[in-house]
Amino acid sequence: MYAVIMAGGKGARFWPRSRNRLPKHLLDICSEKTIIQETVERIIPLTPPEKILIVTGASHARELIGQLPQIPPENILIEPMGRNTAPCIGLAALVVRKRAGNAVMAVLPSDHLIADEENFRHVLAAAADMAARGDHLVTIGIRPTGPETGYGYIEEGKLAARERGEEIFAVKSIREKPDVELAKTFLAKGGFFWNSGMFIWQAATILKEMESSLPDIYAGLLDIDRALDTPAEAKVLADVYGSFRSISIDYGVMEKAKNTLVIPADFGWSDVGSWDALWEVSEKDAQGIAARNREGLVSVNSRNSLVYSPKKLVALVDVEDLIVVETDDALLICKRGASQEVKKVVETLEEEKREEYL
Amino acid sequence: MYAVIMAGGKGARFWPRSRNRLPKHLLDICSEKTIIQETVERIIPLTPPEKILIVTGASHARELIGQLPQIPPENILIEPMGRNTAPCIGLAALVVRKRAGNAVMAVLPSDHLIADEENFRHVLAAAADMAARGDHLVTIGIRPTGPETGYGYIEEGKLAARERGEEIFAVKSIREKPDVELAKTFLAKGGFFWNSGMFIWQAATILKEMESSLPDIYAGLLDIDRALDTPAEAKVLADVYGSFRSISIDYGVMEKAKNTLVIPADFGWSDVGSWDALWEVSEKDAQGIAARNREGLVSVNSRNSLVYSPKKLVALVDVEDLIVVETDDALLICKRGASQEVKKVVETLEEEKREEYL
């Protein structure tokens, strides 16, 4: 099995730590390692580094290569511009097919958190077995723990198979991010799972699906395929990507396909999409305070906050529900629950052309 | 008239800006100038630098001298240790008497804020005129704007005189810091003023009062008086101060004296005793945010906060009633209204012997 890690994210939601030059997956937000280092290390027991492909943008390639010395340089695929997940996955499928024929490939986001890695690998191996057996588009569905509105949902249909003890269901429907009322009905009804954005299939299968569902993208991919490993590669990539529309694999392929399957899973998954989400998954003290640098914190009558300030002593006095993030040039103080609004700070800085903070 | 500025304060309440080596009056908390620079510049139109004495502790003398190049070095009186205001004022009275005979001296705290400086000087000149006319202990009482429990109160008696249009009253009583109920009755009753800690009298008058009310202190002062400007001065000062009890001029003299007078005044006075008090007196934007470095602030849906971070961009998102103070090595986030609790941070740091932050 090949693993394809999609590392094209931007992540303004982790400002002031995330910047244009340093998106979320390149940050050590969840531990001492960066998120992409964790993502790669998590998959290595299942897939050796020479079978791990990473798709990234040119502006982050240098930093990414530096963080992942174990990945062969030819496995870093550089997109000339971001066009959402469908072109990214198509490009990776071409490379897999070229190097290994019709291998199974697992497509994985670069910036998610997974607590139970062993369970994750077990589910992934089951999905790979299923994908190897036929023209299936296998997804991993996360058992929801609440009516989240930040994720898409996958509705299970009939039980289709079992692999390594995991149940695999036909997909009845794929739903966009719901409002909270609809999310509640999903939970009440049961059989709905969060769309983890992880896909497992044969390279030939996804290319065939793109041929029928996204013929324009597929045609461009064929142009790229002919140019791969030739002197024209960079120019063709740039031209073709310039012509691509931006479209996700969910919307472009998965929602139309008939041969989709879902493996329900529960391995402590979070997309850690915001400072609030990070607080939720972080280790906290008895007062609900999450702080990487514990010795650097003096807390007086304070609760339920996230503190990141690696170099300074931080004193909290009589505060609660705060997110405090300090970097060398900026300081964020945000109410917990409002961290989606951090993007407004970034927008303001963009309007004011304060590039040094972006 | 001589001016005696008492600069012995510590000011842990302005942590993390105030430190053992840098108490409140040596900080630029209210403006680009330090508080003692403002205090000195405010008095200079009334009293030339050669008639301004500053009493300070040895550990802050060097910094203080550096901040006040206009004050002659021989006008910096260094106490070997702090013994509250009575010994401090006694020492200054000796020096005034030695240099200028029985001059009037105005005793002024070093760390207060005064918005209307012209009015302040007018009141002070009136008080000096009154003091010059006899054995009076003149104080300045601040018209209260609310039932503050952080100040002592002075109750006016009969109208005693007018100087330069200012009414001067006999003092009926001097009250320690009241609880809020008592403070409310003071305000309802009227004729009560905040004790500003400013005193105006002849040097001979206060020494005579100390002789009768504080004979032990007075005896020590006589020893010091004999040693002033001799090679024994430093040793005698250290010995005598070591023998002094710690006692305030209010408790030791003013509360017992019969010849006390008060001039009610209203010149935008604040003792700026805490971060909360600083927010109160600071210039604020339409959202109630006080920030020295306006360009360095991005505020999203945030209100009624104080931000001090001279070097970094600060983003506030959906927060209110916060005090945010950043220094090179520490960061304070405190609920507005709770800044008295900042001393608990300092106490914790003392217990943990983290001297670098004290």
What DSSP state is assigned to residue B166? E
Q: Which residues in chain A belong to E strands, given as ranges?
A: 2-7, 52-57, 76-79, 104-109, 113-114, 137-142, 153-163, 166-175, 192-202, 260-265, 269-270, 290-291, 297-300, 306-308, 313-317, 322-326, 330-335
Tell whether A39 and A154 lie within a shared domain: yes
Comparing CB atoms, the residue among B331, B339, B342 nearest residue A314 is B331
Tell whether B341 and B243 lie within a shared domain: no
Write out residues 302-331 of A within 8 Å (CB-CB) of B.
Answer: 309, 312-319, 322, 324, 326, 329-331
Cβ of A312 within 8 Å of Cβ of B333? The answer is no
A49: preceding bond cis by omega (within 30 degrees): no
Q: Is A179 on the interface with B (CB under 8 A)?
A: no
Residue B294 has a pLDDT of: 87
Cβ of A341 within 8 Å of Cβ of B317? The answer is yes
Cβ of B300 within 8 Å of Cβ of A330? The answer is no
In chain B, residues with a C-beta closer than 8 Å to the C-beta of A329 are 312-313
Split into its structural domains, chain A has a count of 2
Tell whether A247 and A292 lie within a shared domain: no
Residue A165 has a pLDDT of: 96
Residue B10 has a pLDDT of: 75
The torsion defined by the Cα of B198, B203, B205 and B208, in degrees rounded to 10, comes to 120
Cβ of B298 within 8 Å of Cβ of A339? The answer is no
- What digits encode the pLDDT tens for the residues B264-312? 999 999 989 899 999 999 999 999 999 988 899 999 999 999 999 999 9
Q: Is A19 on the interface with B (CB under 8 A)?
A: no
The residue from B224, B239, B270 where one domain ends is: B270
**B317: nearest CA in chain A?**
A334
Cβ of A314 within 8 Å of Cβ of B334? The answer is no
Q: Is A188 on the interface with B (CB under 8 A)?
A: no
The residue from B270, B301, B316 where one domain ends is: B270
What DSSP state is assigned to residue B251? I
- What digits encode the pLDDT tens for the residues A49-71? 999 999 999 989 999 999 999 99
Tell whether A221 and A106 lie within a shared domain: yes
Tell whether A161 and A287 lie within a shared domain: no
User: With 80 as the cut, is the pLDDT of residue A184 above it?
Assistant: yes
CA gap B249, B247 in Å, rounded = 7
Residue B9 has a pLDDT of: 76
- CA-nearest of A31, A35, A32, A33 to A23 is A35
Beta-bridge mates of residue B117: none
- What digits encode the pLDDT tens for the residues A291-328? 988 889 999 999 999 999 999 999 999 999 999 999 99
The residue from A245, A270, A295 where one domain ends is: A270
Residue A280 has a pLDDT of: 93
Cβ of A333 within 8 Å of Cβ of B322? The answer is yes
Cβ of A16 within 8 Å of Cβ of B330? The answer is no
Q: Is B196 on the interface with A (CB under 8 A)?
A: no
What DSSP state is assigned to residue B31? S
Match 């409140």 to its residue by tokens: B24
Tell whether A259 and A336 lie within a shared domain: no
Mutate to test the interface with A, among B274, B331, B354 (most CBs of A within 10 A): B331
**Hey, is A123 helix, strand or coil?**
helix
Tell whether B246 and B292 lie within a shared domain: no
User: With 90 as the cut, is the pLDDT of residue A14 above it?
Assistant: yes
Comparing CB atoms, the residue among B318, B326, B334 nearest residue A319 is B334
CA distance B22 to chain A (A): 18
Average pLDDT in chain A: 96
Degrees, nearest 5: CA angle B177-B179-B183: 80
Tell whether B149 and B53 lie within a shared domain: yes
Mutate to test the interface with B, among A18, A331, A343, A353 (most CBs of B within 10 A): A331
CA gap A8, A109 in Å, rounded = 9
Cβ of A338 within 8 Å of Cβ of B318? The answer is yes
Q: Is A281 on the interface with B (CB under 8 A)?
A: no
Please name the residues in contact with B75: beta carbons below 8 A apart, sequence gap of 6 or more. B49, B50, B52, B53, B54
Is residue A118 very low, low, confident or very high in pLDDT (cuts 50, 70, 90)?
very high
Comparing CB atoms, the residue among A15, A309, A341 nearest residue B331 is A309
Side chain identity at B180, as an amino acid letter?
A: V
A121-125, A168-172, B9-13: the lowest-pLDDT one: B9-13
Q: Is A345 on the interface with B (CB under 8 A)?
A: yes
Cβ of A313 within 8 Å of Cβ of B329? The answer is yes
CA distance A179 to chain B (A): 23
Residue A30 has a pLDDT of: 87
Q: Is B358 on the interface with A (CB under 8 A)?
A: no
Q: Is B141 on the interface with A (CB under 8 A)?
A: no
Structural domain harbouring A173: 2-270
CA gap B37, B33 in Å, rounded = 6
CA distance A296 to chain B (A): 9
User: With 80 as the cut, is the pLDDT of residue A223 above it?
Assistant: yes
Cβ of A298 within 8 Å of Cβ of B348? The answer is yes
In chain A, residues with a C-beta closer than 8 Å to the C-beta of B337 are 318
Please name the residues in contact with B169: beta carbons below 8 A apart, sequence gap of 6 or more. B156, B157, B158, B159, B160, B261, B262, B263, B264
User: With 90 as the cut, is the pLDDT of residue A346 above it?
Assistant: yes
In chain B, residues with a C-beta closer than 8 Å to the C-beta of A301 are 338, 341
A22 φ/ψ angles, rounded to the nearest 5 degrees: -145, 80
Is residue A10 very low, low, confident or very high in pLDDT (cuts 50, 70, 90)?
confident
In chain B, residues with a C-beta closer than 8 Å to the C-beta of A17 are none
User: With 90 as the cut, is the pLDDT of residue A193 above it?
Assistant: yes
Cβ of A330 within 8 Å of Cβ of B342? The answer is no
Residue A287 has a pLDDT of: 97
Tell whether A233 and A85 lie within a shared domain: yes
Residue B276 has a pLDDT of: 95
Mutate to test the interface with A, among B317, B322, B358 (most CBs of A within 10 A): B317
Tell whether A236 and A331 lie within a shared domain: no
Q: Is B16 on the interface with A (CB under 8 A)?
A: yes
CA distance B322 to chain A (A): 8
Q: Tell me, what CATH number does A227's domain have?
A: 3.90.550.10
Q: Is A358 on the interface with B (CB under 8 A)?
A: no
Residue A294 has a pLDDT of: 87
Arithmetic mean of pLDDT, A222-243: 96
In chain A, residues with a C-beta closer than 8 Å to the C-beta of B324 are 331, 333
Give the sign of the dihedral formed by CA A274, CA A276, CA A278, CA A281.
Answer: negative
Residue B292 has a pLDDT of: 87
Which stretches of chain B score pLDDT less than 70?
11
Q: Strand A104-109 relative to strand A2-7: parallel, antiparallel, unpaired? A: parallel
CA distance A144 to chain B (A): 28
Please name the residues in contact with A321: beta carbons below 8 A apart, sequence gap of 6 or more. A303, A304, A305, A335, A336, A337
Tell whether A78 and A179 lie within a shared domain: yes
Arithmetic mean of pLDDT, A262-279: 94
User: With 90 as the cut, is the pLDDT of residue A81 above it?
Assistant: yes
Tell whether A206 and A353 lie within a shared domain: no
Residue B76 has a pLDDT of: 97
